[in-house]
């Protein structure tokens, strides 16, 4: 079973994302901030990280940069998931190594399409 870590400071978003991902056969773990997310990854590297760009303690970009420095940290596909719709910010995320970018709000069809495009469907 493929594993996904949802890193988002909103409990509601984590809950919605968990349901959509579990519907698609993922085992889902949740982290409320980047530090917690990195701790999860050190314990068990997931196949996919669904990542909010704008979080108070550590931004999504910073999380991604630090994840890639961890042993095995180049493995997970990282899909940003954020209300940030500025194309320059989206380009930054892709340049930093994100496989895809979902603009909130999203629905199940968008998640399915994006996971397929990221190669983790």
Partner 1 sequence: MAELGAERAGLAIDPDKAYLIESRLGPVARRESFGSVADLIAAVRGGADERLETACVEALAPSETRFFRDRAVFEHLWREVVPEVARHRPDGVVRIWSAGCGAGQEIYSLAMLQAEAPAPTGRVELFASDLSERLLDRARLGVYSSFEVQRGLSARQLVRHFENRDEHFQLAKKVRQEVRWRRVNLMEDLTPLGAFDIVLCRYVLSGFTARARSETTARLAALVAPGGALVLGEEEALAAEGFAPARAGLYRRAGGARAAA
Cβ distance to partner 1 smaller for residue 28 or 93: 93
Out of 114, 115, 120, 121, which residue is the one contacting partner 1 (CB under 8 A)?
114
- Collapsing DSSP states into helix, strand and coil, what is residue 21? helix
Smallest gap from residue 115 Cβ to partner 1 (A): 12
Tell which residue, 19, 37, 22, 23, has the closest CA to residue 76.
Answer: 37
| 45 versus 81: smaller Cβ distance to partner 1 | 81
| Rounded-to-integer distance, Cα 41 and Cα 26, Å | 16
For the segment 53-92, give every residue that binds partner 1 (CB under 8 A). 85-87, 90-91
Q: Which of these segments, 4-12, 40-48, 56-64, 106-114, binds partner 1 (CB under 8 A)?
A: 106-114
110 binds partner 1 (CB under 8 A): yes
Torsion of CA 88, 33, 77, 4, to 10 degrees: -140
DSSP 10: -
Q: For partner 1, which residue of 1, 12, 71, 109 counts as binding (CB under 8 A)?
A: 109
Written as six digits, the tokens of 82 are 């954020």
CB of 96 to partner 1, least distance (A): 12
**How far is residue 88 from each of residues 40, 92, 99, measured CA to CA in Å?**
29, 6, 16
The answer to whether 35 contacts partner 1 (rule: CB under 8 A) is no
100 binds partner 1 (CB under 8 A): yes
């Amino acid at each position: 079973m493929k594993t996904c870590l949802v890193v988002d400071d909103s409990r509601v978003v984590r809950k919605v994302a968990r349901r959509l991902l579990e519907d698609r056969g993922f085992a889902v773990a949740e982290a409320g901030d980047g530090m917690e997310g990195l701790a999860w990854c050190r314990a068990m590297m997931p196949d996919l990280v669904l990542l909010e760009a704008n979080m108070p303690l550590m931004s999504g970009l910073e999380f991604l940069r630090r994840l890639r420095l961890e042993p095995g940290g180049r493995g997970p596909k990282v899909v940003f998931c954020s209300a940030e719709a500025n194309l320059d910010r989206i380009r930054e995320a892709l340049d930093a190594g994100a496989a895809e970018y979902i603009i909130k709000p999203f629905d199940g069809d968008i998640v399915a399409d994006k996971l397929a495009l990221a190669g983790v469907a």
